[in-house]
């Protein structure tokens, strides 16, 4: 697992440092770093929706297309409060940025890992993927506020089985 996290950080760094962008994208300040927080509903048996938070970064390769990376964490108590499960979601995303009348709207896909760490049990990881819909409202040329919604499906893993995590987040971004 440690090697995967190191690979993820190396990928993230290379996207930000070496990613090629068009001249128009460079003029517009198309790299970003953001923080997000909101509600996460994991969809596995006995777990309840709870708050989650995380970070994201990315770069628009052209005015319409971009790539990025994300990390999100949350703790979920079972319905009786007897145990809790920490869920970490991290991976990469590809995005299409609408322009014109729908400027600020983003449609994308996420692909990564979901790591579950139940109290008193062994940690498990599985592949996660799913659609992403977001909106960024530019407050200034360097800051935006918006929202993101995603449905991340995880494959069957041990006793938990397959599930879909529903994420509804508010997002603040710094553009550079």
Residues 124 and 115 sit within 8 Å (Cβ to Cβ): yes
| Structural domain includes residue 21 | no
Condensed to tens digits (0 to 9), the pLDDT of residues 31-69 reads 999 999 999 887 766 667 788 999 999 999 988 999 999
| Structural domain includes residue 49 | yes
Tell which residue, 118, 110, 27, 24, has the closest CA to residue 67: 110
| Structural domain includes residue 24 | no
| Structural domain includes residue 156 | yes
- The encoded tokens of residue 100 equal 């014109």
Q: What is the pLDDT of residue 70?
A: 96
Q: What span, in angstroms and rounded, lies between the C-alpha atoms of 136 and 148?
A: 9
Q: Which domain holds residue 133?
A: 2-16+31-175
Helices and strands: H and E segment counts in the chain: 2, 8
| Structural domain includes residue 165 | yes
Residue 162 has pLDDT above 50, yes or no: yes
Residue 17 has pLDDT above 70, yes or no: no
| Structural domain includes residue 25 | no
Q: What is the pLDDT of residue 159?
A: 47
Tell which residue, 105, 90, 95, 109, has the closest CA to residue 58: 95
Please tell me the total count of domains within the chain. Answer: 1
Q: What is the pLDDT of residue 86?
A: 82
| Structural domain includes residue 80 | yes
| Structural domain includes residue 122 | yes
CATH number at residue 69: 2.40.160.20
What lies within 8 Å, CB to CB, of 139 at 6+ separation is 145
CA-angle at 82, arms to 79 and 84, nearest 5°: 80
Condensed to tens digits (0 to 9), the pLDDT of residues 105-153 reads 999 999 999 887 777 676 777 888 999 999 999 898 899 999 999 998 8
Share of the chain above pLDDT 70, in %: 72
Q: What is the model's pTM?
A: 0.77
């Amino acid at each position: 697992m440690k090697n995967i996290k190191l690979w993820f950080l190396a990928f993230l760094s290379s996207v930000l440092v070496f990613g090629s962008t068009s001249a128009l994208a460079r003029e517009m300040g198309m790299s970003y770093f953001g923080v997000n927080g909101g509600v996460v509903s994991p969809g596995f048996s006995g777990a309840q929706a709870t708050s989650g938070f995380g970070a994201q970064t990315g770069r628009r390769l052209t005015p319409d297309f971009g790539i990025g990376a994300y990390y999100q964490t949350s703790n979920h108590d079972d319905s009786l409060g007897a145990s809790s499960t920490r869920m970490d979601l991290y991976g990469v995303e590809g995005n299409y940025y609408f322009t014109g009348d729908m400027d600020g709207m983003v449609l994308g896909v996420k692909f990564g890992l979901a790591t579950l760490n139940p109290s008193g049990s062994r940690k498990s990881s599985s592949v996660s993927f799913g659609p992403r819909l977001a909106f960024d409202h530019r407050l200034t040329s360097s800051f935006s506020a918006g929202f993101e919604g995603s449905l991340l499906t995880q494959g069957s893993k041990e006793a938990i089985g397959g599930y879909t995590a529903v994420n509804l987040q508010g997002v603040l971004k710094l553009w550079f």
